[in-house]
Structure 1
Amino acid sequence: MTCTLENHRTELVALLSPVFASLGSEVLPAGSVEASNRILSQDLYAQLPIPAFTNSQMDGYAARSADLAEATPGSPICLPLGFTAAAGDPQITLAEGTVSPVMTGAMIPAGADTVIPVEESVAGSFPDLVRAHQGEPHGSAEFTAPSEPGRFIRTAGIDLEAGALVAKAGTRLTPTMIAALVSSGLREVPVRRALKVAVCTTGDELSDDQRSQGQIPDSNSPMLTSWLHQYQIQVRTLQLPDDPARFALAIDALQEQVDLILTVGGISAGAYEVVSQALSPLGGTFHHVAIQPGGPQGFAQLSQAAVLCFPGNPVSALLSAELFLAPLLRQFNALPEPAPKSYPLAGDVTSPEHKHQVRRGVIKDGAVEILGPGSHLVHDLARADALVHIPIGVSKLSAGQQIETWSMNV
């Protein structure tokens, strides 16, 4: 039975949406590498304001604006120095009629309402400074202009008040969002549990022993593992022979350990199609989708895990992942849909009119060169930097014609 690309996508949404919804959550340190790009499982509220306290935006002098109101170039005002406020110091108090040297990020001394950058003082630089409990302050600073209240002062909570919403459930923890969470006093974050996927490649021909005739290396396992890792997925791999009984036993054991089983190979029209032979009696669905490459597709719902079945040629396997699994994983990980770019074709292209063809391309000299359609062309797949969709009903595209492309391998 043949179905359209859109219909098969709809089937997989129904298959995988319950899997994503059932994952639950786990708690991770807010600033950990493990939290990066994970998805919040509940709304989070600030425990601290941002900034946590009122602090200086500049290296300069904390002062009372009233003390400098009459300063002019012709009649400068000279004020004695108080203690210095450095970043990390407890708050000090500004004595009346003095200025306190203050460093960027330091707490504004109590009583001060303005900061004059050090370069705006007559000297243009700091003299010898004394912090609290390190002796008695000495020296003075001279100023030739007023400084209005609030100048170069970052007020506590001006960015976010304590108790305010920092991030809603479903938010992806980007590097900047992690910074906001940590800055708001959150030490731990509840995130959706990572999806666990088993990649199962099939075929008696898969072997690392290249001296044996008829054997090929298993390139699908490392390729799909690397591809899945970009979506924060925990991946394990398993290589299975063309034996339906052994395959069924392995899958049955796997479903207790993972959320999704991704099989590669064994679903075409040949005599040794182990995946379809093992899963069809369990309610698996296998059909031909009107796409090229990657026409054979399948899926199954077992008692404890979903199974997604891709064809075995590497190009077909990866394009199946891009076409059918990636949109769901992007939605699950709160990632934007990729935006296409338009390029002229470098040459004429033909396509089977009754199939949606997905071709690889190389962007060169402002045009897209379409590569061969073969599903075995692994090196072409590696050097491609664009995907081109040629829809059903289109049999030929001419050189120079504009076509939309989607980035890949970048």
Structure 2
Amino acid sequence: MAITCEEHLDWILEQVRVLVPERLDLVKDFSALHGSVLAQDVAAAHPLPLWDNSAMDGYAVRSADLAAAGGTHPVELEVLGEVAAGSSLDPDIGPGQCVRIMTGAPLPSTADAVVRVEDTQPADGGGQWATQRVRILAAVEPGKDVRRRGEDKQIGAPVAKTGQLLSAAGLSALAAAGIHEVLVRTAPKVAVLITGSELQPIGAALRRGQIPESNSLLIRGLLAEAGIRQVTMERCADEPQAVRQRLAELGATHDAVISTGGVGPGTHDVMRLVLADEPGVRAVRVAVRPGQPQCTGRLSGGAMVFALPGNPVSAAVSFELFVRPALRAMQGSATVQRPVSTARATVGWRGSKGRLQVLPVVFDPKDATACTPAVHASSISHSVGGFGAAEGYALVGAETGDVAAGDSVDVIRVIP
């Protein structure tokens, strides 16, 4: 009897051991940090911004001096000098005075607003900027175009939370907040084991019954897209003792081992036969199409093993539903599954009542809420050509059956 996808994923997540965290430097360890997951909350070490500063290129002024300013009645001010970004100058601005100021420069303590250069005219010659005197063409309120100290984050305010995946933006925010080291769980060490006597290297001459080996590229690419780029790739003959030995060695030196093929009920399905001797691994039929046969669990050597079906789309679907969430869980990620949204089916297709149908789809470039199958619904698992264009998956529930044009379907996007 087949189990549901939810039951299988729940069982997998129960087997996951969260990786030991380590403290890394934002600059020296950037490659490991990008895509890692925070293992503790992080607070701002200083205010953001650090000081009141200008949001525009213009003039730092006392707003009270400009109460009567207008297009036909400009107010003329004396220009004392200039404050550039990074400057430590704090000029004393008196009545009727101002300074040129650049975006990001500290606001002088005696100023309370900034007038954009576009709202001024030099009173002492040509060019855009005044050197001695400037005409202000519009009044400004106190605080106009000023970024206040700490308005983004006060010192001690949370900047990032435990379980957050560190993206480029996240790492930049940490650095801006004065953080130089963080406690994280980096990407798991993953090995990919390729078996299959029919599989030949890409570019090799093919005899009848042989096919190019493409799943290594598929799984390696999916791992890279999941933030895991340092991967051990190995090939192994379809011989039980050889597979058993490689699993023992890889299982002792990696956090996860992924294989494709050899998990069905056939007499030559070597992965299923070998993994039957592993007490922490179970072979199940999952109520999903494609990807029904799954062998998953923990090897005696310590690593999690994911023996996926061999058909490329079945392997990719299995990775998305079961492997990717497990790898995220190993890092302690707060969210292990992609968000699910809805889209409108542009055409109808045959469903798969009684099991979850995971159908590769493309999205309309002019209407992101519309999706079309990338492969024929009756031959999902081996439709490699069409699958190459897929941007996501439609998830059609076991109770739904056929989908009609115009129906709303749940979807996940795998390409932003």
Aligned to 1:226: 221
Q: Does the CA contact (< 8 Å) of 2:25 and 2:182 recur in 1?
A: yes
Q: Does the CA contact (< 8 Å) of 1:387 and 1:407 recur in 2?
A: yes
246-255 vs 341-350, greater mean Cα deviation: 341-350
Distance (whole Å) between structure 2 residues aligned to residue 218 and residue 167 of structure 1: 42
Q: How many residues align?
A: 399
Is the counterpart of residue 275 in structure 1 residue 271 in structure 2? Answer: yes
Q: 1:305 to 1:78 in 2, by over 3 A?
A: same
Q: 1:124 to 1:203 in 2, by over 3 A?
A: farther
Aligned to 2:156: 163
Q: Over the residues paired in the alignment, what is the CA RMSD in angstroms?
A: 3.3
Aligned to 1:380: 386
Q: 1:88 to 1:348 in 2, by over 3 A?
A: closer
Post-superposition offset of 1:391: 4.2
Which structure 2 residues correspond to residues 314-353 of structure 1 after superposition, within 5 A? 314-329=312-327, 333-334=333-334, 337-344=338-345, 346-347=347-348, 349=350, 351=352, 353=353
Letter of the 1:406 partner, please give it. Answer: V
Is the counterpart of residue 103 in structure 1 residue 98 in structure 2? Answer: no
103-112 vs 371-380, greater mean Cα deviation: 371-380
Which structure 2 residues correspond to residues 146-161 of structure 1 after superposition, within 5 A? 147-161=140-154
3-state SS in 2 of match to 1:96: coil
Aligned to 1:309: 307
Aligned to 2:11: 11
Post-superposition offset of 1:390: 4.5
Q: Does the CA contact (< 8 Å) of 1:40 and 1:190 recur in 2?
A: yes
Q: Does the CA contact (< 8 Å) of 2:79 and 2:100 recur in 1?
A: yes
Q: 1:126 to 1:381 in 2, by over 3 A?
A: farther
400-409 vs 359-368, greater mean Cα deviation: 359-368
Which structure 2 residues correspond to residues 21-36 of structure 1 after superposition, within 5 A? 21-29=18-26, 32=30, 34-36=32-34
- Bigger radius of gyration, 1 or 2? 1
Q: Does the CA contact (< 8 Å) of 1:200 and 1:240 recur in 2?
A: yes
36-45 vs 144-153, greater mean Cα deviation: 144-153
Q: Does the CA contact (< 8 Å) of 1:293 and 1:373 recur in 2?
A: no
Q: For each residue in 1:30-74, what CA deviation from the matched residue of structure 2 results, as whole angstroms up to 9, or x when unmatched?
A: 694653343222211222211122212222222334444566778
335-344 vs 268-277, greater mean Cα deviation: 335-344
Distance (whole Å) between structure 1 residues aligned to residue 308 and residue 343 of structure 2: 29
Q: 1:148 to 1:260 in 2, by over 3 A?
A: same
3-state SS in 2 of match to 1:349: coil
Distance (whole Å) between structure 1 residues aligned to residue 243 and residue 208 of structure 2: 24
Letter of the 1:229 partner, please give it. Answer: A
Q: For each residue in 1:371-409, what CA deviation from the matched residue of structure 2 results, as whole angstroms up to 9, or x when unmatched?
A: 332532221322444534444466x52644625152556
Distance (whole Å) between structure 2 residues aligned to residue 87 and residue 10 of structure 1: 53
Post-superposition offset of 1:168: 1.6
Aligned to 2:172: 179
Aligned to 1:119: 118
Letter of the 1:340 partner, please give it. Answer: S
Aligned to 2:377: 371
Post-superposition offset of 1:347: 4.3
Q: Which runs of 5+ in 1 are unaligned?
A: 131-136
Distance (whole Å) between structure 1 residues aligned to residue 128 and residue 412 of structure 2: 57
Distance (whole Å) between structure 2 residues aligned to residue 256 and residue 290 of structure 1: 32
- Choose which of 244, 251, 258 in structure 1 pairs with 2:254: 258
Aligned to 1:196: 189
Q: Does the CA contact (< 8 Å) of 1:29 and 1:35 recur in 2?
A: yes
96-105 vs 252-261, greater mean Cα deviation: 96-105
82-91 vs 146-155, greater mean Cα deviation: 146-155
Letter of the 1:381 partner, please give it. Answer: F
Q: Does the CA contact (< 8 Å) of 1:23 and 1:195 recur in 2?
A: no
Q: 1:30 to 1:164 in 2, by over 3 A?
A: farther
TM-score w.r.t. length of structure 1: 0.84
- Choose which of 215, 226, 232 in structure 1 pairs with 2:210: 215
Q: Which runs of 5+ in 2 are unaligned?
A: none
Letter of the 2:210 partner, please give it. Answer: Q
Letter of the 1:120 partner, please give it. Answer: D
Q: 1:175 to 1:66 in 2, by over 3 A?
A: same
TM-score w.r.t. length of structure 2: 0.83
Post-superposition offset of 1:259: 0.3
Q: 1:22 to 1:53 in 2, by over 3 A?
A: same
Distance (whole Å) between structure 2 residues aligned to residue 74 and residue 268 of structure 1: 84
Distance (whole Å) between structure 1 residues aligned to residue 351 and residue 110 of structure 2: 78
Q: For each residue in 1:71-124, what CA deviation from the matched residue of structure 2 results, as whole angstroms up to 9, or x when unmatched?
A: 677876543321211122222322534321222221222322232333333538
Letter of the 1:402 partner, please give it. Answer: D
Q: Does the CA contact (< 8 Å) of 2:48 and 2:150 recur in 1?
A: yes
